[in-house]
Amino acid sequence: MRPALVLLAGPNGAGKSTLYQNRVAPSFAGPFVNADLIQREELRDSSMRAAYAAARIAQERRNELLAARRSFVTETVFSHPSKLDIIDEARTRGYVVIVMHVGVDDPELAVARVRARVEEGGHDVPEDKVRARLARGLALIRQAVLRADRGMVFDNSALNEPPREMLRFDRGRLVRAEPVLPGWILSVYAPDLVI
């Protein structure tokens, strides 16, 4: 059986951890490599220095899992084109790659969720960074979704509801779409909305 890489992608505050809890964790036994959890639960340090250390640890763990050909879940905001490399590396090693893109229709919602997370003791991301990553990451995440064996796009704009699957791709080809799509999905995936 081929190992699986489940890659949760989306901006800060979009709901990657919520998507993991609601959709992935109940049916996937592999480890969850998450720099935020490493920082909070292992390093127990909310400083930026610890955030960078946690990111390095997460990268090392991903590399070890890939080398061992073990299934795992990880997440990213896709802040840089180099983040696409994990997909290529996993496919080279025989993985099934599943990319789950979660987003929101309003950047203010992402910013507010980050603020709420900080109030609950979670890690902070400066507002300007949230907005910059939101704008910069969408095109990269689209590339990841289309490059994956399976790509799914979820909207998490509704309050107090789990993320809702809106699109599904199979090796870059659209195979399912909800009849009404949020504006952010239309703006990112418009060229791909042909079944």
pLDDT tens digit string along 63-116?
A: 999 999 999 999 998 888 988 999 999 999 999 999 999 998 877 666 666 566
Q: Residue 54 falls within a domain, yes or no?
A: no
Domain that holds residue 76: 4-30+70-186
DSSP state of 125: -
Q: Residue 35 falls within a domain, yes or no?
A: no
Can you give the pLDDT at residue 92? 96
Q: Residue 194 falls within a domain, yes or no?
A: no
Q: Residue 61 falls within a domain, yes or no?
A: no
* Residues 1/95, Cβ–Cβ less than 8 Å: no
Q: Residue 38 falls within a domain, yes or no?
A: no
* Residues 156/19, Cβ–Cβ less than 8 Å: yes
Whichever domain contains 8, its CATH number is 3.40.50
Token pair recorded at residue 116: 């709420």
Place of tokens 């390095």: 56
Residue 36 confidence class, pLDDT cut points 50, 70, 90: confident
Across 31-36, average pLDDT? 93
Integer CA distances (angstroms), 143 to 61, 99, 123, 151, in order? 24, 10, 28, 10
CA angle 27, 159, 30 (to 5 degrees): 20
Q: In one letter, which amino acid is 149?
A: D
Across 40-59, average pLDDT? 90
Can you give the pLDDT at residue 125? 63
Q: Residue 53 falls within a domain, yes or no?
A: no
Entry pTM: 0.89
**Beta strand 164-170 pairing with 173-177:** antiparallel
Q: How many domains, the chain?
A: 1
Across 128-154, average pLDDT? 86
Q: Residue 195 falls within a domain, yes or no?
A: no
Integer CA distances (angstroms), 63 to 7, 27, 89, 146, 164, in order? 14, 23, 9, 23, 31
Q: Residue 175 falls within a domain, yes or no?
A: yes
